[in-house]
Structure 1
Amino acid sequence: MKRNIIAGFAALLLLSSCGNNREILNALADYNNSREEKGYHFGDQLHLPKEVTDNAETIAISFGDKELSDLTVDPEFFTLGDNDVTFIIKTKDGKTLNQDATINVFTKNPEQNLSYSIVAEYPHDPNNFLEGFLIEGNTVYESDGLDGSSQLIKYTLGSATPSLVEKQDDGIFSEGCAVVGNKIYQLTYQNKIGFVYDKNTLKKISQFPLPNVIGEGWGLTYDGKNLVATDGSKNLYFLDVNDPSKVVRTVSVAGHTETYDKLNELEYHNGFIYSNIWHKPVILKINPATGEVVGKFDFTKLTNENNQGNSEHVLNGIAFKGDNMLVTGKNWAKIFEVQIK
C-alpha cells in the first residue's frame, strides 16, 4: 500500500512537471506569435513572459551553430528581416525545453516614398525577356532569359536593334549582368555557373561556379569593389570580383515593418543599391552597408500600362543615365527615363 502511495505521488509530480512545461512552451509560443508582426530593432531586449522566466534556470537562443544567452537583439547574431531561431530553456527542475521561433528585425526609420517624373521614352524590343540591364554612356547591355532563347546583347539607347548579340547554348537561362572594366559578368538562373565576357566583342572569356550559398542566380551589379548578387531571397551577396565563387559578406534587406525578399535586378548608383522585387512594381533604395531600405519607388501605373495584361511581364530593369533612372521590364516595348524628385 505504501509503495502504491509513493508511486502515485511520483506520477502526480511527473504530471505536474509535464503540465508546467507545457505552460512554459505555450506562453513562449503566444509571446513569439504576438511579436512576429511587430518585430524588433537592433538593441531591443526580449522581455519573455513570467511563465517562462519564473521557471527557467537559463534561457538561450540558438542560431544553429551559434548561441546567445543575453536576450538582446544583437546585430552580431541577428540579421535584418526574419531570423529562424530556437529557444533553449533549462528549467529549475532540470528539464531542457526547445521551441522554434521566427524573430523579425526591422529598421528604426520608415522608408521614404520616393517620387519621380517621366522625362523621356526609348524603344525596347518586346521580344526580350529581360533579366539584366545596364548602361554605359549611351550603350545598353542587356541579358535576356528563358531556356533556348537566352542571350547577351549590346545596343545604343534609342535603337531597339542590337549592334552585337551573343546567343547562349540551349539549356542556359541567362540572368543578371554587370560591367567591370572591360568585362561583363553574367549569372545564370539554375545552372549554378556564371560567365565572363569581353565587353567590346561579347565573346566569352571564362566561366565560374556560383557560390554554394547562392541557390539561384538572379540579379547582379558592381559597387566599385565587389560584385553584388541576389538569389530571390532577402540577401545581397557581395562577391570577390577576382573570384566570384567567393562570398565576401552577406547583407539582409528589410524596412521599417517588412522583410523584402525576392530581390531581383540590381543597380549600384552613388552609394546605394537599387533593387526591384520580383512580381511587385516597386524599386527599393538600399543602404548596402546595413541592408536598410531607405526609400521606395512605386511603379504600379507604369507596370500596368506596359505588361500587356501578362503577370510575367514584370518591372525588371534598372539603370542610371547620369542621375536619372532608366526603367523597363520583361517584354516591355519601351524604356522610360525618370527624373527623381
Structure 2
Amino acid sequence: MRRLFLLAAALVLPTAAPAQTPASAAPPAAQAAPARAAVPVYGVEVVRTYPHDPHAFTQGLIWRNGVLYESTGRSPSTIRKVRLEDGAVLQRRELDPALFGEGLTELNGRLISLTWTTGKGYLWNPADLRLLGEFNYEGEGWGLTTDGTRLILSDGAPHLRFLDGQTLQPVGTVPVTLDGRRVGQLNELEWIDGEVWANIWQTNFIVRIDPRTGNIVGIIDLTDLLPDRTGMDPRDDVLNGIAWDAEGRRLFVTGKNWPSLFEIRLTGAR
C-alpha cells in the first residue's frame, strides 16, 4: 500500500505545465494523493534488450514496416530511422538548430513530428525522411500519437489534445485524471489497442488512458527497468519512448540518453 501511495503521489502533479528544461531545472513537485487499488498497477519483464544510442535524447518513438523511427531533442534535434537489432541509425535528418524536436507519429503515409516551443510541426516521407511540409499549432508540443483518424498531442498540461488528421486543426481536448484528480506531465505517447499510453515525465511510470473519458485505467511501473544509471542525470536521462509493433504484438520502451532499448511484456496487476 505504501508503494501505491507513493506512486499516486508521483503521478498527480500540479496542473501548470513546466517546460522540458535542461538538467539544471528541478523536477516537478508532486502532490500527495490517496492510493487507489482499483486502478491496476502492472510490473514488466524484459523479453529482450537491444542497443540504443546513448546520445539520443529520445522524444518520440514508433515502429513501422520493420524499423524504428525516432525523434530526438536538443541541438541538433533529429528525425531518424533506426535498425532495431543493433541500434544503427540508417538515416537521419537534422532540424534547424533553433528548433527543439519533440513527439513523432505516422498517419496517412507520412511521419509527423512536433517541436517544443515554436508551434511548428513537420511532415516527413518515411522512405527517405525527406521534408514534405509543415503546419502550425498553438502552445507547446510534447508527445504525439494517432488513433488512425486524429492526431493526439500532449503539451505537459493535464489533458490530451486532438487534431484532425487531414486538416491538422484542433478538434477537441479531454482532461486526464486519476481518481478524479488531474495528471499532467504527459510526455511521449503511443496508441495501443484503443488506449493512449503516456510516459509521465521525470518518473518511472507509464499510464494507460481511455481517450474517450481521459480516465487513467492502468499504471505500468518500470522502476527497475534500468537499474544501473551510473553517470546519468536523474532529471534529464529519464524514461521516455514507447513503440508498439501491432502485428508482432511487441512493446518497446527506452529513455532519453539510455544505452538500451527494451522489448517488454506486462506482468500481473497488483
Q: TM-score, normalised by structure 2?
A: 0.82
Q: Give the Å deviation of 1:261.
A: 0.3
- Match for residue 141 of structure 2? 217
The amino acid across from 1:208 in the alignment is F
Residue 337 of structure 1: aligned partner: 263
Where relative contact order (Cα < 8 A, 6+ residues apart) is larger, the structure is 2
Q: Does 1:275 align with 2:198?
A: yes
Instruction: Specify which structure has the higher proportion of helix.
Output: 1
Structure-1 separation of matches of 2:180 and 2:123: 38
Alignment-derived partner of residue 93 in structure 2: 166
1:333 positional shift = 0.5
Q: How do 1:172-251 and structure 2 match up within 5 A?
A: 172-210=99-137, 212=138, 215-244=139-168, 246-251=169-174
Partner amino acid for 1:329?
G
Write out the 4+ residue segments of structure 1 that deviate beyond 6 Å after TM superposition. Answer: none
- Structure 2, unpaired ranges of 5+: 1-12, 16-33
Q: Is structure 2 residue 243 aligned with structure 1 residue 316?
A: no
Aligned mates of 2:50, 2:251 — CA distance in 1: 13
2:43–2:222: 8 Å Cα contact kept in structure 1?
A: no
For 2:125 and 2:41, locate their aligned partners in 1 and report how far apart those are by CA, in whole Å. 39
Alignment gaps of 5+ in structure 1:
1-80, 84-105
Partners of 2:116 and 2:78 lie apart in 1 by 13
**What do residues 216-238 of structure 1 show as CA deviations (whole Å, max 9, x unaligned)?**
10000011110100000111011
Instruction: Check conservation: 1:281, 1:303, Cα contact below 8 A.
Output: no
**Aligned residue type for 2:183:** Y
Structure label with greater radius of gyration: 1
Render the CA deviation track for 1:124-180: whole Å, top value 9, x for unaligned: 00010110101124200000001x310100022112221111111110110000011
Deviation for aligned residue 1:308: 3.7
| Cα deviations by residue, 1:48-80 (Å, 9 ceiling, x for unpaired) | xxxxxxxxxxxxxxxxxxxxxxxxxxxxxxxxx
| CA pair 228-124 structure 1, distance change in 2 beyond 3 A | same
Match of 1:126 in 2: 54
Match of 2:178 in 1: 255
Tell me, yes or no, if structure 1 residue 327 matches structure 2 residue 253.
yes
Query: Per-residue deviation at 1:109?
Result: 8.3
CA shift in 2, pair 1:164/1:82, >3 Å: closer
Corresponding residue for 1:95? Answer: none
In structure 1, distance between residues paired with 2:118 and 2:265: 37
SS in 1 for 2:171: strand
State the Cα distance separating 1:204 from its structure 2 match.
0.5
Change (3 A) 1:302 1:181: same
Give the match's secondary structure for 1:274. Answer: strand
> Which secondary structure does the structure 1 equivalent of 2:228 belong to?
helix
- Residue type of the alignment partner of 2:147: D
